[in-house]
Amino acid sequence: MFPQLDPSEARFLAEIIVSIFGVVFFLGLALWMIRRKQAAKPGEPTPAPASLPETAELKAMNPDEQSDRVTALLQEYQTWKKERLLRGEDGNSLFIRTGVEKNGLRYQLVASTQVQALAIYLSTLMAENDPQASVQAEALFASVLAYPAYRNNELSSWKYLPDLPRSPKLDPDPHAEAWLIYLLVMATKRWPTIDRFHYSELIPTRLQALQEYAETLAPEMTAQLSFSGFLTHQLINLDPSLDWSALGESREQFFNLFVEHEYFTSETVLRKLGLNLLQMGMLALFDHDLQAIQALHKMQADLVEFVEEWLVGLQAEPEFSRSAMLACAVPALLNLEVKELNERVWEALLNSQPDKDDGLGATLKVLGMVFLAGHRE
């Protein structure tokens, strides 16, 4: 029924068939590789979807199901990127302006480790909606890394002059360093393939250096530190063998102070008050810390009154702006589920316009909006 082929013809026909299958296979492989590269371009790692802290999860960000809040948030984030992210002298780093300072006969821009860390946090939270977020986060960290602290090269100067080749070396800010370590861990979980720096070596080195530095602080210096309850809980998880009791008050001490001493009127340093409130709220909202939750509920009336006053704007001062304070209160307010007040805070943040030197307020503003847009009450 089938024509008979001699051996040479049969071999020739077999080679043709194998060649055709080979072409089809390699064409399919090439198409698969092209699609894979389009889905994850070099320098823009694909965010990991699982095993992330709850603080890294921003809900309701599906473009087809965007709420008005999410739409507004994305616009504010793009504005923040355009207006606040400045290129460093090396062309490969980014920094947030936090002021100006006279150096000799010139005025130089100022940046701080605290604001750089919060900017990395914001970049990480917005990963699903910003293909450049990982590159941005590493460039922000590169700026901090370029300005080591005085007599401690493993930590960073608490503030620096990013447009000056030789910025003065200052002491580190322990609270900001704790933020930075936590956020580097968070970023490497979000983007497992980022490799601009050797994070597997760098993170434990900075962790050890921070613990050792904290132990050298005099009691009066420790008393000036912001409460770091949420951050120290994260650091303990990284290395349970390290003792963080030297990094400010314990949770129990702070909770007692918070409840028993009319905290919102007794703490006169606004920056410390705001950052303390942020840590307290994050402990309750994200770590579900029972003591933090109970303390917030005991102080609910005082907290609501405090936020109401800041909404009016009577207490706004240059050292810690209205935007910064309201944003710091957001996690605590979300835990208390005061919906009407949270809506007013959202509107206040949305309509606020932090000063050009208020990098802290501008960054905290968008972070507060992230929490409000992503939380379901």
Q: What is the pLDDT of residues 62-116, one digit of tens each?
A: 444 457 899 999 999 999 999 999 999 888 999 999 999 988 778 899 999 999 9
The tokens for 291 are: 């003591």
Coil/strand/helix, residue 318: coil
* Mean pLDDT across 32-37: 48
Number of neighbouring beta carbons within 10 Å of residue 199: 16
Give the residue from 138, 45, 46 showing the smallest Cα distance to 88. Answer: 138
Cβ(270)–Cβ(319) under 8 Å? yes
Cβ(70)–Cβ(373) under 8 Å? yes
Phi then psi dihedrals of residue 155, to 5 deg: -120, 175
* Mean pLDDT across 190-199: 94
Q: What is the CA radius of gyration of the chain?
A: 26
How far CA 306 is from CA of 254, 280, 347, in Å, comes to 18, 15, 17
Specify which residues 317 forms β-bridges with.
320
Phi then psi dihedrals of residue 350, to 5 deg: -60, -40
pLDDT reported for residue 334: 97
Q: Can you give the residue ranges of every domain in the chain?
A: 89-226, 249-377
Task: Give the residue carrying structure tokens 């968070």.
Answer: 186
Q: How far apart are CA 303 and CA 332, in angstroms?
A: 9
The tokens for 297 are: 């509920």
The tokens for 157 are: 């100067």
Provide the 8-state DSSP code for 97.
-
Residue type, position 269, single letter: V
Mean per-residue pLDDT over the chain, rounded: 85
CATH value of 89-226 in 3.40.50.300, 3.30.750.24, 1.50.10.10, 3.40.50.620: 1.50.10.10
The more confident residue out of 339 and 14 is 339
Q: How far apart are CA 67 and CA 11, in angstroms?
A: 65
Helix spans in the chain (H): 7-39, 68-84, 113-125, 133-145, 174-190, 199-215, 219-224, 229-238, 251-260, 263-266, 270-285, 290-298, 300-312, 322-336, 339-351, 359-374
The more confident residue out of 243 and 327 is 327
pLDDT reported for residue 1: 46
pLDDT reported for residue 112: 97
The tokens for 8 are: 């040479």
Cβ(76)–Cβ(369) under 8 Å? yes
Q: How far apart are CA 87 and CA 35, in angstroms?
A: 32
Q: How far apart are CA 99 and CA 361, in angstroms?
A: 12
Cβ(330)–Cβ(281) under 8 Å? yes
pLDDT reported for residue 46: 42
pLDDT reported for residue 24: 47
**For residue range 279-316, what is the model confidence (pLDDT) as tens digits?**
999 999 999 999 999 999 999 999 999 999 999 876 55
Q: How far apart are CA 233 and CA 201, in angstroms?
A: 21
Q: CA 111 from chain center: how many Å? A: 16
User: Cα-Cα-Cα-Cα dihedral of 43, 46, 52, 57, to 10°?
Assistant: 100
Q: Which letter, b or e, does each residue of 311-346 get, where b requires 16 or more Cβ atoms within 10 Å of its Cβ?
A: beeeebeeebbbbbbbbbbbbbbbbbebeebbebbb
Lowest mean pLDDT among 189-198, 288-297, 308-317, 332-341: 308-317
